[in-house]
């Protein structure tokens, strides 16, 4: 007779754990792609969207709290 042991971790908890692992990776990938696109823009185009080259080069464009402190 086979015994089936039920996992003490629910499916919902497993999904939550997996989501907690995957979301930061996806966000990081998305930010890297956005950063690459911003680096391709010229200074005039950056000004049009409210950024400057310094902010893009130093990643400030991705941290809205840091940008608010400069205004």
This prediction has a pTM of: 0.61
71 confidence band (pLDDT: 50, 70, 90)? very low
Q: HEC states along the chain?
A: CCCCCCCCCCHHHHHHHHHHHHHHHHHHHHHHHHHHHHHHCCHHHHHHCCCCHHHHHCCHHHCHHHHHHHC
Give per-residue pLDDT as tens, 44-68. 999 999 999 999 998 887 765 555 5
């Amino acid at each position: 007779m086979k015994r089936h042991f039920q996992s003490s971790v629910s499916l919902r908890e497993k999904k939550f754990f997996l989501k907690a692992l995957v979301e930061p990776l996806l966000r990081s990938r998305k930010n890297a792609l956005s950063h690459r696109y911003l680096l391709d823009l010229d200074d005039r185009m950056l000004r049009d969207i409210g950024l400057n080259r310094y902010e893009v080069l130093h990643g400030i464009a991705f941290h809205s709290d840091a940008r608010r402190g400069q205004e």
